[in-house]
Amino acid sequence: MTRRQSEQSEHLVKMANQIALNFGEQRDLKQAAQHTGEHLDRFWTRAMREQLSAYAASGGAQLSPAVRLLFSVE
């Protein structure tokens, strides 16, 4: 992964985590994961979703609990 790709991934992770937080991650984890996934499907490009998915598949260390649940990272 290039430095630019790494920076892009960090930015996508930050945005996804913020989206999950806005959807009430602290109140209902499963619901926040569902709404976050719907948001990503509606508003993110396929390339953005694929890059976040690849990050999750590589361990997803910085993903919030709802985003981890969305990608089933354990």
- Using alpha carbons only, what angle is made at residue 23 by residues 56 and 7, rounded to the nearest 5 degrees? 40
pTM assigned to the model: 0.91
The pLDDT of residue 1: 73
CA-based nearest residue to 36, from 69, 58, 61: 69
Q: Residue range 43-71: average pLDDT? A: 96
Task: State the sign of the Cα–Cα–Cα–Cα dihedral 4, 7, 13, 17.
Answer: negative
Asked whether 62 and 73 are in contact (CB, 8 A), the reply is: no
The pLDDT of residue 74: 45
Decide if pLDDT at 14 tops 90: yes
Q: By CB neighbour count within 10 A (0-12 exposed, 13-18 middle, 19+ buried), where does 16 fall?
A: buried
> Residue 72: which pLDDT band, with cuts at 50, 70 and 90?
confident
Decide if pLDDT at 26 tops 50: yes
The pLDDT of residue 73: 54
